[in-house]
Amino acid sequence: RAEAALDGDSLSRACELLDALCRQYVQAAVEGLAAPSSVAAWHHRLLLRWCAQQPPCAAPVAPSAVVDAHAGLRPLVDLAERCGPRLGAVLRGAASYQELLFPGGSMEALLPVYEEAAVSRFYNDALVAAVESVVAALPPGRLLCVIEVGAGTGGTAASVLPSLELSCARYTFTDVSEVFP
């Protein structure tokens, strides 16, 4: 199902455009800094070094061009549009990257990236197919114990849990974020 939505040629072109769009934001952030010393924290300085090494864009790319090339990248374009223009402020410590990614502490803004973007759908659907295959091969009465490493926003769990509904004794997940106690 998701494989048909990938359309390799248009997805490849759209990914190239998305990369160029993001490099535009990176370039603008680096050029907007008064000096590298204006970067606040050590990890921001590491990010700045990486940003400064990115090749410049050959030509400007509009967000709509990415979506026109492949609509399945809309969630990634939305994320880039929300965060990209604020990268310089994040590097200076004037804006919080957590707030950009999780406005008001909510994961809602990132869910489409993990649940609806073409590549995420593809991998989530592939995982669901694998889980359904394992479930179908279980002897009668046998239940699974599942561990998901790096649960993040829950996009993968949302895809997989319906397939495990009657076949799972325990579902454990891990994540490094402070969202999960």
φ/ψ of residue 171, rounded to 5: -125, 115
Average pLDDT in the 88-117 region?
A: 88
pLDDT at 3 over 70: no
pLDDT band for 27, please (50, 70, 90 cuts): very high
pLDDT band for 92, please (50, 70, 90 cuts): confident
User: How high is the pLDDT of residue 178?
Assistant: 65
What does pLDDT average to over the chain? Answer: 87
| Distance from chain centroid for Cα 15 | 13
pLDDT at 180 over 60: no
User: How high is the pLDDT of residue 61?
Assistant: 96
pLDDT at 98 over 70: yes
In angstroms, the CA 157 to CA 151 distance is 7
User: How high is the pLDDT of residue 181?
Assistant: 53
Average pLDDT in the 167-181 region?
A: 79
